[in-house]
Amino acid sequence: MIGLRIVLATALLGLFTVGGNPTLGPVLIGALCGFSWLEQGPRVAAISAVLSWGGLLLFGTLRGQPIGEVASKVGSIMGVPGIALVVLTILYPVILSTAAAYLAAQVSPIGRLARRRT
């Protein structure tokens, strides 16, 4: 079940990102995960963020984009090693979507009900 959820979230986040919403996308998808799948939501959101943005990076590399050169040069402009830029690229949607998922799970009426029962 969780696998299906990850696939769904990954696809949605990929679509949002390609559509030009690199910040709003992870937040919305994360919130959706948290709202819908409660405690599992942050985990689903985090994994889908890694798969989605990592996949897009990999796709660019396979299409011949010089990812290493971009990492090295843009990294040097920002004063960080190239690898740090790659890590940051993966971390950025993970933080956004996981945090959004956690918060959404807290305010979700279903979640509140479940917590009250426990």
Partner 1 sequence: MRRALLSVLSAVALAACALAGVRGAGPVPPLGQLLDPANGAWAAARHDELPGDVSVDIPNLSAPVDIRYDRRGVPHIFAATELDAMRALGWASARDRLFQMEAQTRAAGGRTSEWAGARAVESDREMRRLGIAAAAERQLAGFAPGSPARALLDAYADGVNAWIDGMSPGDWPIEYRLLGARPERWSPVNTMLLFGRMGWTLAYGPMEQRYAAAAGLVGRDAAAALFPPHSVIVEPIQPNGSSQPRFDFRPLPPPGAPDSAMGRVAALFPPAQDPGDEPPSRFASNNWAVSPKRTAAGKALLSGDPHLEMTLPSIWYEAHVVVPGALDVYGVTIPGAPGIVIGFTRDVAWSFTNTGADVVDFYRETVDEPASPTRYQVDGAWRALDSRIEEYRDQGGRVVAVDTLRFTHRGPLSRAADGSWMSMRWTVLDSRLRPDVFLGAAHAVTTRAFLDSMAAGYGAPAQNMIVADRGGSIAIRSTGHYPIRPAGTSGVVVQDGSSSSSDWQDFWPVEQYPQALDPAQGYLASANQEPIDPKVNPVPLGWDGDFEPWRALQINRLLRADSAVTPDAMRRYQTDPGSDRADLFVPFFLEAARAERAAGRGTPSLDSAAATLGAWDRRYTRDNVTAALFELAMRELSRRTWDELSNAAGRRVATPASDMLLNLLQDPHSRWWDDRSTGEQVEDRDAILAMSLAAARDSLVRQYGADWRWSRLGVTRISHLLGLPAFSLRDIAVQGGPGTLNPASGAGFGPSWRMVVELADSVRAWGTYPGGQSGNPFSARYADRVPLWAAGELDTLVVPRDTASLPANATRARARLTPTSGSGS
Nearer to partner 1, 4 or 93 (CB): 93
Footprint of partner 1 (CB under 8 A): 17-18, 20, 22-23, 27, 53, 56-57, 60, 63-67, 69-70, 72-74, 76-78, 85, 88-89, 92, 95-96, 98-100, 102-103, 106
Nearer to partner 1, 1 or 109 (CB): 109
Q: How far is the CB of 8 from partner 1 (least distance, A)?
A: 19
User: Backbone phi, then psi, for 24, in 5-degree steps?
Assistant: -65, -35
As to burial, measured by CB atoms within 10 angstroms (0-12 exposed, 13-18 middle, 19+ buried), residue 90 is: middle
Q: How far is the CB of 14 from partner 1 (least distance, A)?
A: 8
What contacts 10, CB < 8 A, 6 or more positions away? 47, 48, 51, 52, 55
Backbone dihedral region for residue 79 (phi beyond 0: left; psi -120 to 50: alpha; all else: beta): left
Nearer to partner 1, 1 or 106 (CB): 106
